[in-house]
Amino acid sequence: MGNQWKILVTERIAEEGIEMLKQEADVHVDFELSSDEKRPELLKEIKNYDAIIVRSKTKIDRELFDASENLKVVGRAGNGIDNIEVKEATKRGVVVANTPDSNTISAAELAIGLLIAQSRNISQANTYIKSGKWERNKFKGSELYGKVLGIVGLGRIGSLVATRMQSFGMKVIGYDPYIQDERFKRFNVEKKDALDKLIKESDFISVHTPRTEETMGMIGEDEIEIMKEGVRLVNAARGGIISEQAILKGIKNGKIASAGIDVHEVEPCYDNPLYEYDNVIVTPHIGASTLEAQQNVGVTIANQVISALKGEVVTNAVNLPTLNRDELITTKPYIDLMDKLGGIYYQLYNDPVEKVEISYYGNVARQETDMATIAFLKGLLSPVVGEHVNYVNAKMLAEQRGIALKENKKMDVFNGYTQLITVKVRGKNKTFTISGNLSSKNEGKIVEIEGYEVDVEPSEFMIFVQNIDVPGVIGKIGTTLAIENVNIAKMQVGRNKPGERALMLLNVDDIVSKDTLDALTKVENVIWAKAVRL
Ligand code: NAD
């Protein structure tokens, strides 16, 4: 039997990753399809695939999305997503995932390598000795110990460099206006609230920001001007964050003692005036080029793509709120629960939704709840939009359908619950409420529906019955289901007062037929009966 999914891999990923993909899908590997010459072929082929895995060469743009028919995931083995039009992907509900964590250690270690190599002239000495010469005084370097290292961008890589260089006895200062003070404290990095302040105090400066409009050329001639004499620079982030032109000037006039550069303004770069200077150490963008990083990237992207195809949470999706491993562990049960709670409304009522109001109480309010909200919307829209709705486009589709969204977070205990999620779905003609919670085993439960207190685990096949609460109804429903050969796993009745309306929730073992529902509706005092599949 063929696999359910087809995955196209157009650029190299580790064999381990390919093997993992093959467990779940038909995998076709063709590196030529990443080239401009073979682009027409790629555009023709893409309609056959559910996922494509690329690195930085294959262009994933509107034209490609237009040519695709089944594409659900774009996997970027690596970090930068310049070659992918993420907005177009989001519009079409295509998940774009990358592997930002897989090469952080490798990139940090290379930045440190460039720092050490330049301060001790390792590269120059190597070339010198191999040319048949021997001279010790020529290569007098400087120690790192006791020096000030300025880190610009205290993200994944910047923070790794910071902690590692502290073990060399360096004082580390940092500039990153987008992170909390808490993070500086955690990494023992002295916070500078302006780039100038960092620049003036640093003996070494290493940049670790992404490439953005703001960061391109953020260190230019003016910044180099105010640096310490004999400053040493590292750029293993993205070419141009420190202007090459400015480095050249600083090297020429002696202000900069040395520089280590892994990334270039134009890549590949075969010729650059900086290459004429021995004290400029260059490497051809090899920050991620280690065996470990390559394996990590391959395995991670395979996992991400498979999760996306299975409709599971994709931790590294760039067009979704990202979750780290710890956040995923704590929030996954809520995400699953919200998907199910969302799925109920449209299976019971046809009334178009105008507003969804979600309130998170207690412990859950302290956590990352964006994905849980998205999961509710995905569940809500699934019965009406079908499989086109997913975690990526649920919010956008809800917006397009004019569904207003409101979220509240309250840290206090609510109605005796230490954690609770309540949802109010306002339709054109009625308001539906549902609340959920987690059991001690971390399983999702419905604890309230339409004002009735219940304690029900949502399951794949359910029947909801609205009836008048008079003696005999429950028995007749049981008998009717027995006649229809439907096995009841669990059953609960939510009611307020005898003789009033009650809502019955039944977990059953199998899909419920229309005939069964008709039979239930005919039972005396039953108002309606609906099958719900979650
Ligand atoms: P990250 O997103 O974890 O961290 C980037 C940090 O930069 C964030 O904390 C952000 O707040 C900060 N930042 C953004 N704009 C800033 C600004 N204007 N001023 C100061 N700080 C700013 O990213 P990361 O994974 O640590 O990657 C850092 C860089 O390294 C990226 O450019 C990435 O592409 C590059 N990288 C290079 C290689 C390589 O082969 N040389 C490998 C991996 C990553």
Could you give the 3-state DSSP secondary structure of residue 369? coil
Q: What is the per-residue pLDDT for 100?
A: 81
Query: 120 and 268 share a domain?
Result: yes
Compute CA distances 167 → 43, 134, 475, whole Å. 51, 32, 73
Tens digits of residue pLDDT in 436-464: 999 888 899 999 999 999 999 999 999 99
Q: What does the pLDDT read at residue 81?
A: 87
Q: Is 267 a catalytic residue?
A: yes
pLDDT of residue 322: 67
Domain stops at, among 408, 434, 454: 454
- Nearest Cα residue to atom 19 of ligand 1: 176
C-alpha dist (Å) from residue 250 to 9, 144, 230, 255: 44, 21, 10, 5
The CB of 318 under 6 Å from ligand 1? The reply is: no
d(CA 438, CA 202): 51
Q: Are residues 107 and 255 in the same domain?
A: yes
3 state SS for 72-86: CEEEECCCCCCCECH
Unique residue bearing structure tokens 């956590």: 367
As a whole-number percent, the residues of the chain with pLDDT over 70 amount to 98
**Cα–Cα distance between 430 and 395 in angstroms, integer?**
22
CA–chain centroid gap for 426, Å, is 30
The answer to whether 52 and 58 have CB atoms below 8 angstroms apart is yes
* pLDDT of 16 above 70: yes
Indicate whether 329 and 225 sit together in one domain: no
The reply to whether 225 and 304 lie within a common domain is no
Q: 299 and 359: one domain? A: no
- Give me the CATH number covering residue 438: 3.30.1330.90
Can 214 be counted among the known catalytic residues?
no
Please report, for the domain that includes residue 5, its CATH number: 3.40.50.720
Count CB atoms within 10 A of the CB of residue 3: 14
Determine the distance separating the centroid of ligand 1 and the alpha carbon of 75, expressed in angstroms.
20
Specify whether 372 is located in the same domain as 447.
yes
Rounded average pLDDT over 297-321: 88
Give the C-alpha distances (Å, rounded to integers) separating 312 from 102, 208, 395, 479. 20, 31, 16, 38
pLDDT tens across 131-179, in order? Answer: 999 988 999 999 999 999 999 999 889 999 999 999 999 999 999 988 8
Please list the helix, strand and coil fractions of the chain in percent, rounded to the nearest 5, in that order.
Answer: 35, 25, 40
- The rounded mean pLDDT for the chain is 93
Do 304 and 262 belong to one domain? no
Same domain, 341 and 232: no
In this predicted structure, the answer to whether residue 465 has a pLDDT above a threshold of 60 is yes
Per residue in 339-358, pLDDT (tens digit) is 999 999 999 998 999 999 99
| Percent residues over pLDDT 90 in the chain | 78
> CATH code at 526?
3.30.70.260
- Predicted local distance difference test score (pLDDT) of residue 213: 85
Catalytic residue among 143, 225, 267, 524: 267
Integer Cα distance of 430 and 349 in angstroms: 9
Domain boundary among 454, 478, 496: 454
> d(Cα 432, Cα 505) in Å, to the nearest integer?
15
Q: Which residue range is the domain that position 298 belongs to?
A: 1-98+289-319
Cβ of residue 175 lying under 6 Å from some atom of ligand 1: yes
In this structure, are residues 152 and 209 in contact, taking their beta carbons and an 8 Å threshold? yes
**Burial zone of 190 (CB within 10 Å; 0-12 exposed, 13-18 middle, 19+ buried):** middle
59 pLDDT above the threshold of 70: yes
Look at 212-226, 290-304, 410-424 and tell me which has the smallest mean pLDDT. 410-424
In sign, the C-alpha dihedral spanning 127, 130, 133, 135 is: positive
Same domain, 112 and 232: yes
| Residue 237 pLDDT greater than 70, yes or no | yes
262 close to ligand 1 (CB < 6 Angstrom)? yes
Residue of 103, 291, 123 whose CA lies nearest to 208: 103
For residue 122, count other CB atoms closer than 10 A to its CB.
16
Which ligand 1 atom lies nearest to the CA of residue 286? 40
**285 part of the active site:** yes
- Does residue 390 share a domain with residue 274? no
User: What is the pTM for the complete model shown?
Assistant: 0.67
Question: What pLDDT digit, counting tens, does each position of 350-382 carry?
Answer: 899 999 999 999 988 888 888 899 999 999 998
Residues, the chain:
534
Domains in the chain: how many in total?
Answer: 4
Position in ligand 1 atom list of the atom nearest CA 111: 41
* Ligand 1 centroid from CA 158, angstroms: 7
CA 208 / ligand 1 centre spacing (Å): 4
Q: Note the pLDDT of residue 387.
A: 62
**pLDDT for the residue numbered 91:** 79
- Is the minimum distance from the CB of 176 to ligand 1 under 6 angstroms? yes
Given the CA of residue 79, which atom of ligand 1 is nearest to it? 34
Q: Identify the domain boundary among 454, 482, 517.
A: 454
Indicate if 58 and 108 belong to the same structural domain.
no
**pLDDT value of residue 478:** 94
pLDDT of residue 2: 59
More confident residue, 315 or 479: 479
Confidence (pLDDT) at 438: 92
Distances (CA, A) of 222 to 82, 154, 228, 232, 242: 28, 23, 13, 16, 11
Q: Are residues 334 and 478 in the same domain?
A: no
